[in-house]
């Protein structure tokens, strides 16, 4: 296992520069257009597929980087390009993580390729967990999955919300309740194959930021899927439910991670890296502007009020990256998050991105408030990081519970 280091090796630097080039040459020029259109940027996704960035092989290579830095490095560069387009490119990854974290080898080999499609026929996937009445409170989930033993099928009913690629995805991964008596321990994840009857797109949301990424409700009405589409298989599920019931009868307090939480825990440092990318992009625009914008006969960076803001911005960006890289290395090294280091990385980076992008707008003044400059879009985009995949409040709750050992509410 590689030791933790902040020095990228030559291969990592080459990959970083390759992604950065794509972000600068393809994503940046298209960013404003797709933000205004509020549509999935299929041509950009296809370009990413053609060069190999939108592919199973690419994400597998980054995921299995022995240093743990492959994924955060890639996320930072893509989101430096543009958050909305980047989320359209990487959104499929959350569904893929759900399959990798909970599925069998056969399920991984069968379904993940169908999530991405081919460069000539790109596809996307969606991870569906949140519901209108169950966002952070996953215990309030109502979507039900009932097993039809005679047909070896699962029947899904319910409504999911805030689903990236929801309704337009080729493959949907749906978290549902299989045993209501067990609360969150009675959840399981299911693969809904392409063109399955009963699954439809509900409301498509018009968002404050990341507007090039499709976000919508997913409605499930008597959706029947084969028994083989239960992630992990029924035998494994039955064993897990039996253990949970036994613990409940004996009064045991052991916590069991459900499928949705396992997926979110694995992805939190990556979200922190996304926030670092957006913040870094805004900082660079503000730094260049401050060095070239003159007032009273000198560049505005000559004023301490501006220069000190930029110094703080850079310091916070680097600190956030350190937390993200540490958590990513710990995950690949098998080190337990004894102090909730994964949540720490997302919390600090997401809050930092909101602050840094707001400072960038302030440094640009009136220009920063217009769509003629990208910091306005970057500031809107940054708001999502403190909300999705666990709000900042939830991250603080996770950290507080972990460091105290107390059931803080």
Range list of β-strands (E), 44-123: 117-118, 121-122
Residue 338 three-state SS: coil
389 is annotated as an active-site residue = yes
Half-sphere exposure of 268 (CA within 13 A, CB side): 29
Any residues with CB less than 8 A from the CB of 6 and at least 6 apart, and which? 322, 325
Dihedral, 89, 90, 96, 100 alpha carbons, nearest 10: 140
Report the candidate in 252, 244, 141, 151 with the shortest Cα–Cα distance to residue 189: 141
Long-range CB contacts (within 8 A, 24+) of 243-246: 244/179, 244/182, 244/185, 244/186, 245/181, 245/182
Q: End-to-end alpha-carbon separation of the chain, Å? A: 37
CA distances (Å), origin 7, targets 14, 67, 202, 287, 399: 13, 10, 46, 25, 28
The tokens for 283 are 């900082």
According to DSSP, the residues that pair with 176 across neighbouring strands are: 188
- Give me the residue label for tokens 């009136």: 366
CA distance 244 to 252: 9
Q: In this structure, are strands 125-128 and 171-177 parallel, antiparallel, or unpaired? A: parallel
Active-site choice (3, 254, 389, 393): 389
Torsions phi, psi for 247 (to 5 deg): -65, -40
Residues annotated as part of the active site: 389
């Amino acid at each position: 296992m590689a030791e933790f280091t902040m020095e990228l090796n030559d291969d990592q630097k080459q990959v970083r520069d390759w992604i950065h080039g794509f972000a600068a040459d393809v994503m940046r020029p298209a960013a404003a257009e797709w933000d205004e259109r509020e549509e999935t940027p299929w041509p950009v996704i296809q370009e990413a597929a053609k060069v190999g960035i939108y592919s199973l092989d690419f994400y597998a290579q980054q995921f299995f980087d022995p240093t743990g830095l492959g994924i955060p490095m890639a996320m930072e560069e893509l989101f430096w390009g543009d958050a909305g387009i980047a989320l359209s490119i990487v959104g499929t990854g959350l569904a893929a993580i759900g399959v990798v974290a909970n599925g069998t080898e056969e399920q991984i080999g069968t379904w993940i390729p169908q999530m991405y499609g081919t460069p000539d026929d790109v596809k996307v996937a969606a991870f569906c967990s949140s519901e209108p009445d169950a966002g952070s409170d996953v215990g309030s989930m109502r979507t039900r999955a009932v097993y039809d033993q005679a047909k070896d099928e699962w029947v899904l009913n319910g409504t999911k919300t805030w689903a990236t690629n929801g309704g337009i995805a080729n493959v949907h991964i749906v978290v549902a309740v299989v045993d209501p008596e067990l609360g969150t321990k009675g959840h399981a994840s299911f693969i809904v194959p392409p063109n399955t009857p009963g699954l439809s797109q509900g409301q498509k949301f018009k968002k404050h930021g990341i507007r090039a990424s499709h976000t919508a409700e997913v409605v499930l009405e008597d959706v029947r899927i084969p028994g083989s589409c239960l992630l992990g298989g029924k035998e494994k599920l039955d064993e897990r439910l039996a253990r949970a019931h036994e613990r409940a009868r004996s009064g045991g307090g052991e916590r069991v991670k459900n499928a949705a939480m396992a997926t979110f825990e694995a992805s939190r440092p990556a979200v922190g890296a996304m926030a670092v990318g957006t913040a870094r992009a805004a900082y660079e625009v503000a730094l260049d502007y401050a060095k070239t914008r003159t007032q009273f006969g000198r560049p505005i960076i000559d004023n301490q009020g501006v220069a000190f803001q930029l110094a703080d911005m850079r310091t916070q960006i680097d600190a956030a990256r350190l937390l993200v890289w540490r958590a990513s290395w710990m995950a690949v090294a098998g080190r337990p998050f004894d102090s909730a280091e994964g949540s720490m990385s997302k919390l600090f980076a997401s809050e930092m991105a909101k602050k840094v992008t707001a400072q960038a707008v302030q440094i640009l003044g009136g220009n920063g408030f217009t769509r003629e400059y990208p910091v306005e879009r970057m500031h809107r985009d940054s708001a999502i990081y403190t909300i999705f995949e666990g709000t900042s409040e939830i991250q603080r709750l996770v950290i507080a519970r972990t460091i105290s050992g107390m059931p803080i509410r």
